[in-house]
């Protein structure tokens, strides 16, 4: 049987570019598996906390990611206390897992937040108008208000935040029938380190 290795697996630069290509594609393609990664934070009691978000932007040159959230959510408070964050992506067809580590900055009322809000669809904006805020206990299953009318979509702006993640490192894993490959990348202001490691 002949096994096939994708051509990008031959060198560390090509692997990095391929990983970044997947993230770029995942922003614009809603059906891409990497469009909805798992974001992990450190809970206020020190426990790991993880949840799915939508990947809204990836800046390859600045090595930054962006997602959006409600300022009343747990993750927003957790990142306020400790900005360290991990984001996990998996594409089954590509057989690739990407694990990104970084630091989050929270943007509520600056230019980044305004631009992120302006680029959001009315249907996405409506989620931020929910009352009471996410995670609040309620007496009955539908005891909350979520507006359906697009005219009300601006109401949620007060609770909207853009979370921008500065990427410190990426762990790339390809698990294929031909054999596995894993590469680690570290990014700093004055350093770049790339190496193969045992998968």
Q: Between 135 and 179, whose beta carbon lies closer to ligand FMN?
A: 135
Q: Residue 36 CB, nearest distance to ligand FMN (Å)?
A: 5
Asked if 73 touches ligand FMN (CB under 6 A), the answer is: yes
Residues 6+ apart with CB under 8 A from 3: 176, 177, 178, 179
Quick one: which of 182, 191, 188, 192 has its CA closest to 103? 188
Task: Using the rule CB under 6 A, give the single segment among 49-57, 100-108, 112-120, 136-144 that binds ligand FMN.
Answer: 49-57
Q: Which helix (H) or strand (E) holds 16?
A: helix 12-28
Contact, 56 vs 27, CB < 8 A? yes
Q: Residue 53 CB, nearest distance to ligand FMN (Å)?
A: 4
Asked if 69 touches ligand FMN (CB under 6 A), the answer is: yes
Task: Using the rule CB under 6 A, give the single segment among 10-18, 20-28, 73-81, 115-123 that binds ligand FMN.
Answer: 73-81
Which is it for the CA torsion 37, 42, 44, 46, positive or negative?
A: positive
Quick one: which of 55, 49, 16 has its CA closest to 32? 55
Question: How many residues contact ligand FMN, by CB under 6 A?
Answer: 15
Contact, 158 vs 187, CB < 8 A? no
Q: Provide the mask over 130-169, with x wherever binding to ligand FMN is found by CB under 6 A and - wherever it is not.
A: ----xx----------------------------------
Which residues of this chain interact with ligand FMN, rule CB under 6 A?
36, 49, 51-54, 67-70, 73-75, 134-135
């Amino acid at each position: 049987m002949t096994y096939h290795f994708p051509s990008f697996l031959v060198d560390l630069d090509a692997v990095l570019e391929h990983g970044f290509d997947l993230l770029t594609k995942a922003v614009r393609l809603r059906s891409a598996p990497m469009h909805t990664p798992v974001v992990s934070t450190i809970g206020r009691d020190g426990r790991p906390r993880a949840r799915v978000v939508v990947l809204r932007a990836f800046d390859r040159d600045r090595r930054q990611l962006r997602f959006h959230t409600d300022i009343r959510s747990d993750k927003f408070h957790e990142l306020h206390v400790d900005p360290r964050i991990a984001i996990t992506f998996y594409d089954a067809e590509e057989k690739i897992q990407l694990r990104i580590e970084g630091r989050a900055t929270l943007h509520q009322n600056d230019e980044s937040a305004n631009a992120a809000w302006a680029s959001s669809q009315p249907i996405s904006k409506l989620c931020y108008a929910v009352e009471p805020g996410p995670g609040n206990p309620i007496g009955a299953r539908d005891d909350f208000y979520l507006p359906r009318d697009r005219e009300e979509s601006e109401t949620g702006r007060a609770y909207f935040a853009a979370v921008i993640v500065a990427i410190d490192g990426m762990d790339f894993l390809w698990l294929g029938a031909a054999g596995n490959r894993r590469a680690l990348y570290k990014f700093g202001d004055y350093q770049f380190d790339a190496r193969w490691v045992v998968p």
